Structure 1
């Protein structure tokens, strides 16, 4: 690709998704703790929610597990003319593109408290926890390759590009970089 273009961190998008899904699940599950009526009751709702949390965590963490590793092997070096997107901007862009889906999932999870208290919120929380595990796996891939994985937000997200480990403002795995 000729000319300057923008790259966003892969791990930052996964980590941003993890945070939003986790907190949406926590907030949606809280009203379920106060529910004392309904067809199932609080105990059944919390136990089924715990089972849904574990299933969502495992499925989200393991689904398409080799995808990032295969794309990292096929990645090319980023050009010197690229602009590296700040992690806050990347997280904000992720939320802006998916806010309505996240809001819909939150409303459905909160509404499910009437029938099965806490279960919908714990399901969303499990998705968030699974995505956080996936971001940790991305950190291991980046450390092993001694390079950071980036993608073009306006292009094909499957085409990863590599930069040195010190590029950008996010550490491997998408967390904030610790300055010493």
Structure 2
């Protein structure tokens, strides 16, 4: 579940940083100082809102998680991330274009808003990772319940979650890539 949440974090952060950097080069209608200060406020508010929204739904789904059965299809982390990013690529590009366009009025603010959304998703994935570690189980959304374009892991179509041990799959708690330590 945290993998789907975390899948959008990196593109939003990078597009946001690029849009803010390019937007800071343009003086805009309000001026750079006001644009950067407004962008910083938008970054903080957006990160907090994205990190905190729908926590009740995530908690309820995690509380009702059942052990994954033999016939449950659980996707690899890379497949899930790729599917989410392919399904949302046009929305990401449209958001990047809108952030660049908003720099004509308020420099860097739109890019910092995008970066705040990506940071909020990363914070939400970290919160989910702490819940997974505390419950000693990775939480999975059934592939059938996710939209073909990589839908929401807490959307209406999701009826419940499946749980496996912490060592299952190629994702660590929180949706990060599992690191394998080799003995020398």
- Answer yes or no: same fold by TM over 0.5: yes
* Residue equivalent to 1:101: 91
Gaps of 5+ in 1: 1-9
Q: Measure the CA separation in 2 of the matches of 1:176 and 1:20.
A: 16
- Give the aligned partner of residue 149 of structure 2: none
Tell me which residue corresponds to 2:174: 173
Whether the 8 Å CA contact 2:74–2:142 is kept in 1: the answer is no
Runs of 4+ in 1 over 3 A off after TM superposition: none
Identify the residue that residue 105 of structure 2 maps to in structure 1.
115
Tell me which of 49, 69, 76 is aligned to 1:79. 69
The equivalent residue for 1:31 is 22
Q: Contact 1:31 / 1:110 at 8 angstroms: preserved in 2?
A: yes
Match of 1:128 among 99, 118, 134: 118
**How much has 1:158 moved relative to structure 2?**
4.3
2:154 corresponds in structure 1 to none
Matching of residues 49-60 of structure 1 within 5 Å? 49-60=39-50
**Structure 2 CA distance for aligned equivalents of residues 173 and 43 of structure 1:** 36
Q: More deviation in 27-36 or 49-58?
A: 27-36
Displacement of 1:124 = 0.5
Q: CA RMSD in A?
A: 1.2
Aligned to 1:154: 144
Deviation, 1:82, is 3.1
**Helix, strand or coil at the partner of 1:96:** helix
2: distance between equivalents of 1:33 and 1:117?
5
Task: Specify which of 32, 41, 55 is matched with residue 65 of structure 1.
Answer: 55
Q: 2 CA distance for matches of 1:18 and 1:158?
A: 24
2: CA distance, partners of 1:30 / 1:153: 37
